Every structure is written in structure tokens, then in C-alpha cells.
Chain A
Amino acid sequence: MTTTSKTAMRDIPGPVPDPEMQPWWDACKNGQFLVRHCRKCGENHFLPRTICPFCFSDETEWKTAAGTATIYTFSVMRRAHAPYVLAYVTLDEGPTVMTNIATSDVDAVHIGQRVRVAFENTDTGQKLPLFAPI
């Protein structure tokens, strides 16, 4: 997992992290993509919560994802100043997450494509995970 400055297609508005999620955002600074894991039912989920959305247990913990995923669906925002790719990617750990596909060739993006996380700066300085074609 690398931090790259070649992936930005636009100025990205920084997130407004909430306190429950601060560890997730802190991990981004270290180049890690976390999911939430439930010790009770064994499932990973996203977006992360303290209470498991599958079994409602509070025995949940952070787990570092490998950072590799497959594009589940996407679209190119053609009306933007610089077209960008909105996507859902399915992490190898299970959950599907919203993201941008970081690429200079938006027309080559396709469902089923393998991607890897890359962290990009936002306008607040907070690192944000995008996914780039492998």
C-alpha cells in the first residue's frame, strides 16, 4: 500500500470524521484500510460500527484489510470539471465500499477489475483511501 500523488482526479473534500471512527481515519495516515470484525459471528462489515450489523453483538474489533479489491460497479462522472470514477469495490475481506477509482484512463475501468488501495490527500490534509487498477 503506497501513498501516491498521481491518483487525484479532482480536489477531494476532506471527510468530517466522527469520534467513533477516528481510529479508522488515523489508520489511513499509516497507509492501512481497516474493516470492523465481529468476534461473535465472525463477519467483517463496513461502514464500521461498534455494534455488529449482522448479529448485534458489541464484541467487534478493528481488522486491517489487505487493501486489494474487485470493482463491483462504477460510473464516470462526465459532468465534473475533471471526470472522475465513482465506484463500489468489494474488498477481499468481504465488504463492498464506496470509493473512487484512481486512474488516468477512465474509459478502461470495468466491473471485475482488480484494484488496490492508494491513499490521497484531501483539502483538510486527512488521507483518504482510493483504489487504483492493479
Chain B
Amino acid sequence: MPVTGPFSIIDYLGLRLRYVDTTESWGSSYLVHVMHAAEAIASGKCSIALATLAGRPRALGARTGTVVAAKGIDAPEAQFELPYGPTVVGLYAMSAMRHMHDYGTTSEQLAWIKVAASQHAQHNPHAPLRNVVTVKDVVESPLIADPLHRLDCCVITDGGGAVVVTRSEIARALRKPAVRVRGAGYATKHTMGGRVDVASSGATWSGPRAFAEAGVTPSDIKYVSIYDSFTITVLITLEDLGFCANGAGGRLVADGNLISGVGRLPFNTDGGGLCSNHPSNRGGMTKILEAVRQVRGEAHPAVQVKNCDIALAHGTGGALPTRHGSATLILERI
């Protein structure tokens, strides 16, 4: 609850709590809240935890991607960055530009990420963008910040979500299939004292930590929810998590490989941020929700991954080419 703070929802629900975690990691906060909830439960601080998110950026007229709040951000880096007009799209566009330069990644390859999201969104009645699009549609949509086009960008939507985390003996007694947090990893990445690297993310470190804790490898994962503020965010994250080598992401995502029932790595089967949701401009919560649906077998039948016993959800909070928190959860059916 970034705008109102935690006490609004605590008051609204009438809760009397003995433990609260309000860790701020921007869009990846909600994956972190699940990690911290699991740790708090394991250490006996609480037995049932609720993680929430709600926000109405669309109703409030946000133009998050293309307008910079030039003043009033009280951070040491603000004076060295805000005067230059670093829009959110512009920042991620610089990642895409460099990735293309270093590895030959193309706009058409990035477009495949949006195509896959739209193939999934057509089955989600809550998605605002339900029309299936083609690679041509994406690369011919207006340039917002070179090389990113309008259809490389996520939606601005109102919405929210919630996750309940509890002890396994309580979870097993509930009516819903239980999903276990098998592994979790977190990392931060920033401008590194000026050794800026815009073509990779903190997933480089959060991924291996999560995989090590879970005792699995990328090849074991049946479904991925990947934070998709922009198409390039997905491509870089998949590389950093180890689904392919750095630089090979363009080939990984192309030709429908992310489409459920078609490709080998189905992703964001709710339509993701690219077509469906980005409540409060924070996509982390809905990444968890769709991964849970997949592991429970409760996704839309048209996009449900067969035998989806293990899934990964990943959040990128902040801005990939400046500073951000990367959070990875590995979830399994029990």
C-alpha cells in the first residue's frame, strides 16, 4: 500500500496485529512480503499473514511512463537524474537499446513477448487489452522511446490483490489446494558507483538464490510469471534467471515460445502487465496470483499449463537501468 501506507488496510479490515512488515521494494514488494511472511511464520512471530496491494493510478490520471515528477523526490541521486527527464519508458528503452547493441536483439523479438501476452489475455475477461496482436502490430505501433513502441509498454490500471501465507498444517486444512514457497531469493542492483550495466538485472543474483533454496533448476520450471513493465524487462529477466544465456533472450522469446500450449516456457497467462494489469503501477502481486493459479490448476483452461507442479514468479521493483529490487519465488503444489 505505497500511497496510503499499511494502516489504511489494517484499519479497513479491522485487524489487530502483532506483526507487520511493510518492506518497500516498489513493484517487487509483494514477493518480498511473501518471503518475509514465510520467515515470520517460521520464527513464530505469527501464524497467518496477509499481503495486500490496491491502487487506482488510472482513475487518478497517472501518466507514469512518459511524464517525470521533476522535483520533490528526496533522494541523493535525484539531483543528478531528474533534470534529464528520465521517464520510465525512457529508462527501460536505454536497456533495450544497449541489449540490441551488445547482442543483436531485435524489435521483432521483443514484440513476441507482447504477442504471447495478448494470446493469453484474450481469455481473461478482466484484461483491458484482449485483442490478439501480431509482431507487425507491435513494431508498427508508435515509438514512445526508441526502441520501445507503445505495445512494448504495460497498461496503467486500477486494481489490487492479496495473498494469504500460513503454516502448512493450517494450509492443508483449507478448501483450496495448498501451494508451498519452495524457494525465495532477493537482490538489489543499482548504478554501482558509476559502473552502470543496463542490460542485466538483480535477477542475476535473486534467481540463483531462489533455485538453490528450492533445490531445482530452470529446466524444472513449468510456468513463469515475469514482471513485464516492458517487453525488455521480460527478456532481460529470463536471461538473468538462467532460462538462457545472457544475450540469447531474443531467440528464447521468439516464435511463440512463451505462449501456453505452444511454446516451452509459458509466461504470464493472465495477460500480464502488457495486456491485463499493473495495479498501483506495481506488478508484483499479480505475478504471484497467476503463478498460484497455475500451480493449483485454476488458470483459464485455455492457458492452464499441464502438470504444472512447479512455477516461478519474479518481480522487478524500481527501474532496471538505475536501481531496483529483484525478488524471485519458486512455488510448488503440495
Query: Are B93 and A14 closer than 8 Å at their CB atoms?
Result: no
Residues in B neighbouring A95, C-beta threshold 8 A: 193-195
B98 to A13, Cβ gap below 8 A? no
Nearest chain A CB to B154's CB is how many angstroms away? Answer: 15
B194 lies within 8 A of A72 (CB): no
Residues of A within 8 A of B145 (CB): 75-79, 86
The one of A49, A53, A79 in contact with B66, judged by C-beta atoms closer than 8 angstroms, is A79
For residue B22, CB closer than 8 A to chain A, the reply is no
B194 and chain A: residue at smallest CB distance:
A95
Residues of B within 8 A of A47 (CB): 76-77, 80, 191, 194
Q: How far is the CA of A53 from the CA of B96 in the complex (A)?
A: 27
Chain A residues 2 to 41 lying within 8 A of chain B, measured CB to CB, are 10, 12-18, 20-21, 25, 35
**Nearest-CB distance from B198 to chain A (Å)?**
6
Most interface-central of B84, B101, B142 (chain A CB within 10 A): B84
Q: Is the C-beta of B90 less than 8 angstroms from some C-beta in chain A?
A: yes
Q: Do the beta carbons of B194 and A128 come within 8 Å of each other?
A: no
A96 within 8 A of B: yes
Q: In the complex, what distance in Å separates the CA atom of A28 from the CA atom of B36?
A: 45
A99 in the interface (beta carbon within 8 A): yes
CB within 8 Å of B: which A27-82 residues: 35, 43-47, 49, 52-54, 72-80
Q: Which residues on A sit within 8 Å (CB–CB) of B146?
A: 75-76, 78
Partner of B80, one of A10, A54, A98, A100: A98
Q: Are A86 and B144 within 8 A (Cβ)?
A: no
A97 touches B80 (CB 8 A): yes
Q: Which B residues between 60 and 93 are near A, CB-CB below 8 angstroms?
A: 66, 70-71, 76-87, 89-91, 93
> Residue B9 at the A interface, CB < 8 A?
no
Whether A100 touches B194, Cβ cut-off 8 Å, given contacts A78-B143, A111-B98, is: no
Give me 23 A-to-B residue pairs in the complex whose CB atoms sit less than 8 angstroms apart, sorted by A's number: A13-B71, A15-B82, A18-B76, A43-B193, A45-B194, A46-B191, A46-B193, A47-B80, A49-B76, A75-B93, A75-B94, A76-B146, A77-B90, A78-B142, A84-B85, A86-B85, A86-B87, A86-B91, A88-B321, A91-B194, A96-B196, A97-B194, A100-B84
Chain B residues in the interface with A (C-beta under 8 A): 66, 70-71, 76-87, 89-91, 93-98, 101, 142-148, 191-196, 198, 321-322
